[in-house]
Structure 1
Amino acid sequence: MARRVEQKAAARERIAAQQAAQRRAEQRRRLLLAVGAVVLVVVIVGGLVAIRLAGGGKKTATGPNGSADAALISTLSSIPASTFATVGSADVKTAPSAINDQPPLTDNGKPKVLYIGAEYCPFCAAERWPVVVALSRFGTFKNLGTTHSAAADVHPNTPTLSFHGSTYTSQYLVFTGVETTTNEVQGNSYKPLDTPSAADQATLEKYDNAPYVDKQSAGSIPFIDLGNKFIGSGATYDPDLLAGKTQAQVADAIKDPSTAISKAVIGSANVYTAAICKLTNNQPSTVCNTEAVTAAAGKLGAAKG
């Protein structure tokens, strides 16, 4: 009994350390959401010294970039219900939190899910997988890209997808995915890519801050707003799980519920699915009324704001 208690305590300490490291890394990069080179100038001993923010001097990442092939998309959009049921959400430690008394985020009369991230960001790289898996239960992606996080950042070259240039069609909701920069260095930052609309930028500036996210996570990416009912900021699992894998290998691991990757990605996807079901009035019922999804709703964070 004492040994089990010690093991659980050690596991909690590891998780806390990972989350603290994620917050520190995300906060170093929060200003990279601004398009273009960013230079901070401070006064030191009467002189001006230029200090490059995170990303300065980093080399361009290497690895596969391009369009996600049909086999990859098919794997992610056809994960069996048994896999979602087997994995469940028991191992999920971080999840979006509810927010109170805010106007619904909608687009053309449908609830809207907004993602804002960047291709260099390893936490964005990790989180795109469960976001795509969850949204694929409600609609269809086209023209998803493949990319990886920056080579010289933490969790280098994390394999991932990209929302840049993609479209999403659903009878239940609207999804907007914004990738503000590539993983390629330009000056002291990364090359600009997508520019959020004025409305999406306003949503980011309001809700990616306290009290809607923890104060220490304010300004972090990825930022995910689920209909102004739930807010996610940062990754829900450790990007190191994906290290050294190709996108195809990650997808194959996701559909195998015995793998650590599946437990992380499918677990988080179940929680995202539960949040989305709150937006769609539990439609489609074949997804929202499953035991795995109803149980995952209990993982959603307590209301803030």
Structure 2
Amino acid sequence: MSRRVEQKTRARARVAAELAAQARAERRRRVLVAVGAVVVVVVVIGGLVAIRVAGGGKETATGASGTADSAIMTALTSIPATTFDQVGSDVQAKPSPIDAPALTAGGKPKVLYIGAEYCPYCAAERWPVTVALSRFGSFSNLGTTHSAGEDVFPNTATLSFHGASYSSQYLAFTGVETTTNERSGNGYAPLDTPSADDDQVFQTYNKPPYVKDGGAIPFVDLGNKFVSSGATYSPELLAGKTQQQIADALKDPGSPIAKAVDASANVYTAALCKLTGNQPGAVCSSPAVTAAALGKS
């Protein structure tokens, strides 16, 4: 009897030992699985880092990076009158006069800008449009952005009219940025939608005979008395510059950027003075604006 008991005790001991061994094996397996998962995560992260490094840190263009800070706004609104006069009004293209019913808003002549944030030519033209309008009023919440990274003149630093407002006793302004610079399918993500009236102006006057070459963006309508389509200078001039560097260069009459942007602003200013009855007088009677109004460079 005692022998059978001893055999049962030994059997139970063997079973217990086997169960313990199985438990240890399962614990080792789980540890190995956990370690393997960590290794996989590390490898994936390492691969992403390697890809990033191999790509040279190049980023795809993104949307508006924020609101133009006080330093940029101060630079845009404090260009010396002597600088405007020294750069003159020699530009690649000028707004064309048209014969059309007046475009107004709130009893004031209206300036309509339609462009897109991906567009490098829009990126270039926002600078003189902003500078010119700042001689008649003031912007708030003006944005900063850059053109698309995969387009010509990639990542041109610029401003954005999306979400901006304009105040002036002389003029009204509507700025429409139809898309961002972020890819969406075969195009770019939508942003602003022009009103039905603004779209009608765009569709009517952004084509021959009002503008050349079939129309383009940026499109600028100055009270339905002048229209401009495309850029008045090459975006190449702004290559590699930040918004602050561009804004700071506008004070220097010897800077190629000032010669292009400020000269274009003089041309726009001359057209705007036609809308405002040559007000404000100090701006509209300045030598460069007067010369631009007469068609002189």
Shorter-chain TM-score bucket reads: 0.7 to 0.9
Is 2:250 the counterpart of 1:279?
Answer: no
For residue 75 of structure 2, what is the aligned residue in structure 1? Answer: 75
Residues 179-230 of structure 1 deviation map (CA, whole Å, 9 limit, x = unaligned): 000000011110100000000000000000111111x2x2300000000000
Is 2:202 the counterpart of 1:204?
Answer: yes
Is 2:284 the counterpart of 1:288?
Answer: yes
Q: Residues 80-159 of structure 1 correspond to what in structure 2 (within 5 A)?
A: 80-89=80-89, 91-100=90-99, 102-159=100-157
Aligned partners of 1:271 and 1:299 also within 8 Å: no
**Aligned partner of 1:201: which letter?**
D
Determine which structure has the larger strand proportion and give its number.
1
Residues 211-252 of structure 1 deviation map (CA, whole Å, 9 limit, x = unaligned): 1111x2x23000000000000000000000000000000011
**Aligned partner of 2:94: which letter?**
A
For structure 1, the 5+ residue unaligned runs are: 1-58, 301-305
CA distance in 2, matches of 1:296, 1:225: 18
Aligned partners of 1:130 and 1:268 also within 8 Å: yes
TM-score (norm 1): 0.76
Question: What is the identity percentage for the equivalent residue pairs of Structure 1 and Structure 2?
Answer: 68
CA distance in 1, matches of 2:184, 2:60: 9
Deviation at 1:299, TM superposition (A): 3.5
For residue 46 of structure 1, what is the aligned residue in structure 2? Answer: none
Determine which structure has the larger helix proportion and give its number.
2
Deviation at 1:298, TM superposition (A): 3.0
Deviation at 1:62, TM superposition (A): 5.5
For residue 251 of structure 1, what is the aligned residue in structure 2? Answer: 247
**Aligned partner of 1:93: which letter?**
Q
CA distance in 2, matches of 1:299, 1:135: 20
For residue 294 of structure 2, give the secondary structure of its aligned residue in structure 1. helix
For structure 2, the 5+ residue unaligned runs are: 1-58
Q: For the structure 1 residues 147 and 72, does the alpha-carbon distance in structure 2 shift closer, same or farther, using more than 3 Å as the test? A: same
Deviation at 1:61, TM superposition (A): 1.1
Aligned partners of 2:62 and 2:182 also within 8 Å: no
Give the aligned CA root-mean-square deviation in angstroms.
1.4
Q: For the structure 1 residues 144 and 280, does the alpha-carbon distance in structure 2 shift closer, same or farther, using more than 3 Å as the test? A: same
Residues 85-114 of structure 1 deviation map (CA, whole Å, 9 limit, x = unaligned): 11111x3221111012x1000011100000
Is 2:240 the counterpart of 1:239?
Answer: no
Aligned partners of 1:92 and 1:299 also within 8 Å: no
For residue 258 of structure 1, give the secondary structure of its aligned residue in structure 2. coil
CA distance in 1, matches of 2:156, 2:188: 16
Match of 2:160 among 159, 162, 172: 162
Q: For the structure 1 residues 273 and 152, does the alpha-carbon distance in structure 2 shift closer, same or farther, using more than 3 Å as the test? A: same
* Structure of greater Rg: 2
**Aligned partner of 1:205: which letter?**
Q
